[in-house]
Structure 1
Amino acid sequence: MRKLSALLSTGLMAGALLTTTAAAHAAPAVTTVITQDVSDVDSTEPKPATAHCPPGMVVTGGGFSTATGVGNDGSVVMDELIIRDTFVTGTAYEDANGTSKNWGVTVMAVCSTPLPGYEIKLGRSTTLGSEHEKPAVATCSPGKVVVGGGFAVTGAAGDVVVDELLPTRTQVFTKAFEGKAGTTKNWFLDAYAVCAFEPQGWEIVSKGGPIDSFAKMTSFECPVGKRVLGPMFDLTGSLGQAHMMSLLPSDFPDHEVSLGALEDDDGTPNSWGLNNWQVCAN
């Protein structure tokens, strides 16, 4: 009986030790806040803005709006949403036709308590030329998952439209097209993947939208109890004739992301769609 009691006691202690060890390595729940910065509102370009995280927090994703002011009539293009450890920088340009209206850009940073294994990875398009379309892919280190992403076009200054920012478990895909006027400039595209060891409750969710030839707005929430880490998007079928107007994450009360997209200022007969993608966690 003593041996059985001793074995049971040892087994219970071992079970407690295993439970404690597992708990010690379990991903902690995250706390997020969203910050923003607003550019000047006038009819000059380019327009940059930089949103900084509070001390002790890191960037997991970003957002933007080119509808700040009243001037975005389809003539303003978001050129970059660059992700850094503690801030997000975005820049917008007028397209080839330009506009005399006053416009501005808002840039947002989704900030989180530090995540174990946090890193930012860069992937660049393989060509530097005047090709009509370029993809770029950023890949997380082994054992890590995507929590957010960003993009940057270099060398086109408003003549190129970013068409998608798509997450998978371990990669961020982005794609850009030359706009309606094309360009002879040599340009390239960067994708940013924000990565970490898998946070508690991590998942990718998405919502498709209608396919037609009209301006579009859509919103979508993370599942109940989860918060947005990485807001993302993709346009389908527009092929450079429509572009993102807004990618707006919200941290209270519903942790939703709102998207808006416009056709360029002379429109397109193409039927196209706008899809909402989010990386969420507890």
Structure 2
Amino acid sequence: MREGSNRTRWTRRTPAVVGSALGALVLGQLALTGPVAAVPGLSITTTTGPSNSIAKSQNATCPAGTVVIGGGGAITGSGLGQVGMDIMKPLIGGTTFSVTGREDESGVAGNWAVTASAVCAPAPKGLVTVSGSSAPSLGSSNWFEKSCPLGKHAIGVGGAVVGAPNSEVVLEDLRIHQGSVVVAGAEDGTGFDKSWWLDATAICADPLPGEQRVTDDSLYSSAATRSVTATCPLGTRVHGVGGEILGGDGEVRLTEMRARTSTTVTVAAAEDEDGFGSNWKVRAYAVCAS
């Protein structure tokens, strides 16, 4: 069941995978990998690709002996509100998290880059990854929930919007509930006249030691950009990453959703080039465990 946008502890949606493969892993990328303190084997790997004005994908690959248990990404550079992270998901095999960025139908004059970030760890007990897709829709918005197997908890989320040739459908939400993930999308301000759908991936495992879910919201107003950071309680570290836009109506795009440090998850978004007169906010989700 879809939850209301006023919840402050655990809520809602995800993105979809575009039909064509956009860009390969960029050679010469910057890779930053470091151990996450106090959690044996946990690390965060971050890679950033080239800055230009074409659709592209960026992959963050976990160190040997570890797998992806969560992930996210960011867009940096020009035209932030016009570039959508339309695909954010773990790849088959479970050791790489991939992020795809695409411009909207108007295009962007300046250059921009894609960053992919993976939360990596030795495979936790009971690890399994499950995926599913919504039915194709002609509606202006849609959401899809994918549940973990009985008894397992969702610790990571991936999603994609599928069907549009560019970022005309906005991936708004990638939410992590205790037993499921929810992905949501919405057509942008100019609409989209063809069918589209959502793909959702849940990274699931047996309950983690000290596991808890933390959310935090930005201010709720009409602003060009918004950002918020969710922080894990003392003694716990980030294992999973999620985020959502509330009230954006397809005219606000995520520009960041990733673990910035071993204890924080940052989510940011920006209005499109025409601005947006209504109030909106972003919410960050952190799955924390010891």
TM-score between both structures, scaled by the size of structure 2: 0.82
Task: Give the structure 1 partner of residue 289 of structure 2.
Answer: 281
CA distance in 2, matches of 1:43, 1:250: 25
Residue 84 (structure 2) aligned to one of 71, 77, 80: 77
Letter of the 2:139 counterpart: E
CA distance in 2, matches of 1:248, 1:174: 16
Q: Residue 120 of structure 1 contacts residue 192 of structure 1 at CA under 8 Å; is this kept in 2?
A: yes
Say whether 1:201 aligns with 2:210.
Answer: yes
Q: Percent identity?
A: 31
Letter of the 1:188 counterpart: W
Q: Residue 227 of structure 1 contacts residue 251 of structure 1 at CA under 8 Å; is this kept in 2?
A: no
User: What's the C-alpha RMSD, in Å, of the aligned pairs?
Assistant: 1.3
CA distance in 1, matches of 2:170, 2:68: 24
Task: Give the structure 2 partner of residue 172 of structure 1.
Answer: 181
Residue 35 (structure 1) aligned to one of 19, 37, 45: 45
CA distance in 2, matches of 1:258, 1:234: 11
Indicate the SS of the match to 1:250. Answer: strand
Letter of the 1:273 counterpart: K
Task: Give the structure 1 partner of residue 17 of structure 2.
Answer: none
Task: Give the structure 2 partner of residue 142 of structure 1.
Answer: 150
Q: Residue 145 of structure 1 contacts residue 198 of structure 1 at CA under 8 Å; is this kept in 2?
A: yes
Letter of the 2:89 counterpart: I
CA distance in 2, matches of 1:233, 1:201: 21
Matches within 5 A, 1:1-282: 31-44=41-54, 46-67=55-76, 70-84=77-91, 85-125=94-134, 127-156=135-164, 157-214=166-223, 215-252=225-262, 255-282=263-290
**What do the CA deviations read for 1:139-187 (whole angstroms, capped 9, x no partner)?**
1011100111111111113111111111111000111001111112322
CA distance in 2, matches of 1:51, 1:161: 22
Q: Residue 50 of structure 2 contacts residue 113 of structure 2 at CA under 8 Å; is this kept in 1?
A: yes
Q: Residue 232 of structure 2 contacts residue 238 of structure 2 at CA under 8 Å; is this kept in 1?
A: yes
Structure ID, larger Rg: 1
CA distance in 2, matches of 1:72, 1:119: 37
CA distance in 2, matches of 1:112, 1:227: 12
Deviating beyond 4 angstroms after TM superposition, the runs of 4 or more aligned structure 1 residues are none
Q: Residue 30 of structure 1 contacts residue 281 of structure 1 at CA under 8 Å; is this kept in 2?
A: no
Indicate the SS of the match to 2:81. Answer: coil
Shift of 1:113: 1.7
Structure 1: unaligned runs, 5 residues or longer: 1-28
**What do the CA deviations read for 1:50-69 (whole angstroms, capped 9, x no partner)?**
110111101111111111xx
Q: Residue 96 of structure 1 contacts residue 181 of structure 1 at CA under 8 Å; is this kept in 2?
A: no
Q: Residue 217 of structure 2 contacts residue 228 of structure 2 at CA under 8 Å; is this kept in 1?
A: no
CA distance in 1, matches of 2:286, 2:79: 25
Structure 2: unaligned runs, 5 residues or longer: 1-38
Letter of the 2:122 counterpart: T
CA distance in 2, matches of 1:65, 1:196: 26
Alignment: residue pair count? 248
Shift of 1:30: 5.4
Indicate the SS of the match to 1:74. Answer: helix
More helix by percentage:
1
